[in-house]
Structure 1
Amino acid sequence: MEKRPVDRKLLFLTVGLSLFGVLAITDASTPQALRYFSDSFYFVKSQIVSLVIGLISLIIFSKIDFRIWKKFSVVFLVVILVMLIVVLIPGFGIKSLGARRWINLGLVSFQPSEFVKLFFAVYVSSLVGAKKSLLSFLIPTVIVAFLVVLQPDMGTALVILGIASSAIFIEGINLFKLISLSLVASVVGLATVLISDYRRERLMSFLNSSNDPLTGSYHVKQILLGLGLGGFFGTGLGQSRQKFLFLPESATDSVFVVIAEELGFLGAVTVILLLGLLVYRIFKIALGSPDRFAASFTTCVGIWIGLQSFLNIGSMVVLVPLTGIPLPFFSFGGTSLIALLTSIGIVLNISKNQGG
């Protein structure tokens, strides 16, 4: 089959979202950077380094035949399990805000759960079309999701379940399998709430705010205040008041609120539309994929980005409880950005092998 050029629309959307994200972090992180590091550009400099690394990774992976990753799927599963166990070990895993999600390597640290999404998408996609049993999907899904819950990280656990559901869907809709995975999702969600006081408080805050937003937690109140201040057109770029240490995690979990405050409803809708277009483009590539592994992996990446965006933005508008999951391309976090750009690189390689 004669190869096509990479999907330029997906490439332009990816680069555009990444640059938009750097701009948002530059704006949203300044007060925190000055207070904690005496350098207003501390966070954005780190994000730019991650962006450069991520774009290099995107270019490299877009040139490597996607089929090779299927051969290493079991290796990826082993790497996933090792990383998720190591992060739970005191001394290796860094504990912050009641969760242990980072591995300390001395000079640098990284969040393994971000690469877990990528590696797990490869693994479950390798099972598609191989006539594997239901347990072949469920056992690794349960183990990986459970280890993520132990951190605890409910948002990522839900994304893992979404990725597994995508692979099962591509394999062929089977009601029993989908019901089984739904039960797994329910158990994972319940376990996350029960083992963590922090999660229970967030859930109760969400339930309270669903009746009266002003009775919610401090975080929820500041989120809603920021959204309200933005109005339709926003307060203007750089004019956010909430980012001045009123809004928790303004450069990470809550960066969408800063965007909505400064650029208003129009800016918020623009972010949602751009992310939606990216996911649509990925799904379109999946429809023309040359084989079922490629179709499954591409769909998994689309679900990963789409579901994660929904969980983040949904929590910002009090549709779902706060999960602490980052907004793809916009939240500060080098590991997340590099993993995303690497996965897009693989999708771009698949786009070069599309049929028809």
Structure 2
Amino acid sequence: MNNQLIEKVIKTNNGSCPDFVFANPLLDRNIASALSKSFVQMFTTSRQTSSIHNNLRHTVLNNVRKICKIEPENHLKIREDTIDILSQCYVENIEETTENTQSLEKQLDDFLTRRMSGFNCTPKIDLAPNPEIVQALLNLNFSHTEVLMKNVLNWSVDDKTLNILKYLWTSKLEKENIYDDLSVKIKSEIEKDLLHLIHLIITDSRTDISHIFDDSMKHLVSKCSISNHCFQLCCGIMNNLFITTNFHPRIQSFIEIFLNNVKLGCTKPTISLLYPTHLSQIVLLLDIDINKLSGITKSKYVDVVINYLHDLSDKSENDLIMLLCHFHQWFEIYLASKNCK
């Protein structure tokens, strides 16, 4: 089927057709799903008054009948190992793309891409495999995604690759550390989602923030619980918005609920390991219920932590604001120590 016919079938029954991404549009699962739903609706819904619909319906039925013959004309006989052969062929094609990579250059490129992710750096080395081959592998339920993802930092992001990256982002991958690199590549999509949600909660006071974390934020929180890069990216976006809006109380509530949900799903020994290295030590100190400490112990503990916070204030005011927002019990204590100086 050509693009025009696919679009016509989908629009005849659904009203809207997803954008065509691949040269073979049926590689896109959204297109394939919309088309199959349209076929079902076409076959089950009677519209005798529409000659266009009936003609289209008869044409499709005739083609389905031809396909369903025991020995259709020009039909390729499928062996049991055909899927394995296709997968092997596609994997070899992907490996050929990367086999001539100079490892030292690539390692440096990967390091800089991760460290400078906040600046939307474009990698110098482009090892993006053919996106249509990657999508074909995914459609074959290819299980070894690490083969596809080992050079994801070096993919150039266009409509086709972004479509694949977003699909992989919502999938359950075998290796959790892959989400670190994925979050770098789809940074703009994560930013867009967070900006939309935060705009919603500050413009509509009726919006239940807790409900957002049961629905829209559920998937993102699960990724932040296992991915340092994703967690730090989200924290940076939320902190910038918190400061820009002059410490809007509903954003503060949003951040607090976000952190509590991340803690619940955190797969690391302590949540401090999700923070940047230079903050992990102080986070470990902040993440404690000081009300459970006895009088003298509590006083000495608070003094140590406050000294760390004062040092952090001199180095990075943004980091200080972020941590006081994340661990709100320390805000009044820190403010009181500033007033005593």
One fold, TM greater than 0.5?
no
> TM-score if structure 2 supplies the norm length?
0.28
> TM-score if structure 1 supplies the norm length?
0.27
Name the larger-Rg structure: 2
Task: Select the structure with the greater relative contact order (CA < 8 A; seq sep ≥ 6).
Answer: 1
